[in-house]
Structure 1
Amino acid sequence: MSSQKTAIVTGASGLLGRAVYKEFEKSYKVVGTGLTRAQPPLVKLDLLDHEAVASLIEQEQPSVVIHCAAERRPDVSEKQQEYTEKLNVKATRKLAEAAAKSASKPLVIYISTDYVFDGQNAPYEVDDKTNPTNWYGHTKLNGELAILESPNTIALRIPVLYGAGENSESSINTLVDAVWNKAGKKDVQMDHWAARFPTNVEDVAHVLKDLAQKYSTEESRKDQPRVFQFSADQKYTKYEICQIFGDILGLPIDHLIAQDTVEQTPGVIRPRDCKLSTKTLQDAGISVDHVDFKQWWQRRLTANK
């Protein structure tokens, strides 16, 4: 067991981080970090404490670091811009710098977003022009640029996620609550303008492990792409997702009002269609298979009835 490789997963208490921890645990000794929700075996780590981050990397000598932790909520990011910049950009840069100084020379994989694009020219290849429309996308793009300044780093762009967990952890999962409507709300605005490509966290975890294993050595990383993209290919608006959930649960959604123009959509403006091409992953021989959205939710929601 002493020869087993170590993986550090930041944000391991979150929706994506938990799936990544579970997947990597099959092949690695995994050190998961968290902050407010960090319970053993997770290590409590403030990513803004750069000395603590460097100390953990030096202590563990990982072969790979999966950087899931981020402020991922566009509306919160807009209101807390300074904090979001520190977490999504500065902490990312310091993490990559600390990893570069480590004797183990780990591969650092940064989780980025489809929101680095403006949604006007989908589908997007990895080298297409970036143009984020909100602060969240802006900081995640700057996080990409920050991490790629250091060697042995790559970025994986992904769209909105869903998976097993509390509904509040995902803007897709939370639509289940909107359909149940236990509070009896009426005339609730629901976005029917922006296209989304909801992607399961377990599928993302598989891709991350495949990347970690393919680029496990410094030699294998030479002259290879630095940015990859993964996405499911099933396209829905939030309103259409609510229709799917309503059909599965046998619930009406007449309390939801479809908002089909950008002016009507509540909250921070999201790009209209950021469909990500997965060509770079496929060219690298990495599977881009994904679960069927409707089937996954059919199983989950009927199991919980």
Structure 2
Amino acid sequence: MKKIMITGASGLLGRALFNTFSDHFEVIGTAFSRASEPLVPLNLTDFRALEDFLITHKPHYLIHAAAERRPEVCLENPELTQQLNVSLPAALANLCHQHQVELFFISSDYVFDGTSPPYAETAQPAPLNDYGISKYQAEQAVLAYPQHNVVRIPVLYGAVEKIDESALTITWQQLIQSNAPKMDNWAVRYPTHVDDIAKTLKAIITQLDKSERGGVFHISDTTPYTKFQLACALADAFGYDKSQITAMDSPVGQAARPQNCQLSDNRLAKKGILYQRDAIKGLIEAVRPFVKQPEV
């Protein structure tokens, strides 16, 4: 049985990856602050411990899903961002090359500036914020090794453990905590379920020959939404008065963001690898456990 290592396996995407790969692979999931069985505690920034871990467990593949993903945090903590989002992936790429491990580095649609979507895998990145810059720098380090893979993904949602674990599920919290919530109606996003990302990655590894892998892959759903549109859909689903929601038609947030960085998954489309779903229905189901039911 092939062995796969997943970093950040306690996170939203990491959990989906762990569950999806467990039926056909021996999966080693690592985490740091939230490491509990069956996950293994590992400080990824201790590069010597990281190499020892690779030597001991000898995975065939490694999916690196651990990162700092919050643009404002990246803006405020440049040293932490450099360590987690750039130095660590660069070290992993080198270590995986030395120990013959195929690396899948999870990157972001935020490597693009959002001015000329959709973006093919060959499009030239031009990030706008510190988060996007860090991801692009890491991509360059990973792609220095032709056998490694960069996987760009958009904003994610799924079965969250906390309502604020996803930039989309937190929308419900923002609705109920404000009398007059304001929602971004400027940035166009392509919400993608973490289970579909995991299924796609599994298909890449199991269905594509090694000669067909390496380089950049895009994985994304294709239906556009603004956060305002998603907030209105949640309001309708759970009995919130959506007339109270204000649409913000200009950029929101301290860190600069692209308006529309749609990813075109040309490589996977040619291979017939496509997993998608209705984002509204999926988001409603992700939020439902956190909606207080009316007393009878």
Q: TM-score range by the shorter chain?
A: over 0.9
Q: 2:212 and 2:221 mapped to 1: Cα distance?
A: 27
The equivalent residue for 2:152 is 157
The equivalent residue for 2:238 is 249
The equivalent residue for 2:219 is 230
**Cα distance change, pair 300–17 in 1 and its aligned pair in 2 (3 A):** closer
The equivalent residue for 1:288 is 274
The equivalent residue for 1:258 is 247
Q: 1:256 and 1:299 mapped to 2: Cα distance?
A: 21
Q: 1:150 and 1:129 mapped to 2: Cα distance?
A: 18
Q: 1:207 and 1:289 mapped to 2: Cα distance?
A: 7
Q: 1:160 and 1:54 mapped to 2: Cα distance?
A: 31
Q: Deviations over 1:130-180 (max 9, x none)?
A: 100000000001111111123421011000000001211110010011223
**Cα distance change, pair 48–25 in 1 and its aligned pair in 2 (3 A):** same
Give the deviation of 1:70 after TM superposition.
0.5
Q: Quick check: 2:172–2:231 contact (8 Å CA) kept in 1?
A: yes
Unaligned runs of 5+ residues in structure 1 are none
**Cα distance change, pair 243–7 in 1 and its aligned pair in 2 (3 A):** same
Q: Deviations over 1:48-95 (max 9, x none)?
A: 111111111111111110000010111111111111111111100111
The equivalent residue for 1:12 is 9
**What is the SS of the residue equivalent to 2:254?**
coil
Give the deviation of 1:106 after TM superposition.
2.2
Q: 1:108 and 1:122 mapped to 2: Cα distance?
A: 27
How many corresponding residue pairs? Answer: 290
Q: 1:266 and 1:254 mapped to 2: Cα distance?
A: 23
Q: Quick check: 2:156–2:192 contact (8 Å CA) kept in 1?
A: yes
295-304 or 9-18, larger mean C-alpha shift: 295-304
**What is the SS of the residue equivalent to 1:92?**
helix
Unaligned runs of 5+ residues in structure 2 are none
**What is the SS of the residue equivalent to 1:26?**
coil
Say if 2:67 is the partner of 1:70: yes
Q: Quick check: 2:236–2:242 contact (8 Å CA) kept in 1?
A: no
**Cα distance change, pair 239–223 in 1 and its aligned pair in 2 (3 A):** closer
The equivalent residue for 1:297 is 283
Matches within 5 A, 1:264-283: 265-283=252-270
Q: Quick check: 1:211–1:286 contact (8 Å CA) kept in 2?
A: no
The equivalent residue for 1:169 is 165
Matches within 5 A, 1:158-237: 158-165=153-160, 166-181=162-177, 185-215=178-208, 220-222=209-211, 224=213, 226-237=215-226
Q: Quick check: 1:5–1:63 contact (8 Å CA) kept in 2?
A: yes
Q: Quick check: 2:6–2:18 contact (8 Å CA) kept in 1?
A: yes
Q: 1:148 and 1:214 mapped to 2: Cα distance?
A: 22
Q: 1:188 and 1:173 mapped to 2: Cα distance?
A: 15
Q: Quick check: 2:117–2:260 contact (8 Å CA) kept in 1?
A: yes
Q: Quick check: 1:167–1:174 contact (8 Å CA) kept in 2?
A: yes
- TM-score, structure 1 length as denominator? 0.90
Give the deviation of 1:267 after TM superposition.
2.6
**What is the SS of the residue equivalent to 1:21?**
helix
Q: 1:234 and 1:92 mapped to 2: Cα distance?
A: 30
Identity of aligned residues (%): 34
Say if 2:47 is the partner of 1:54: no
**What is the SS of the residue equivalent to 1:267?**
coil
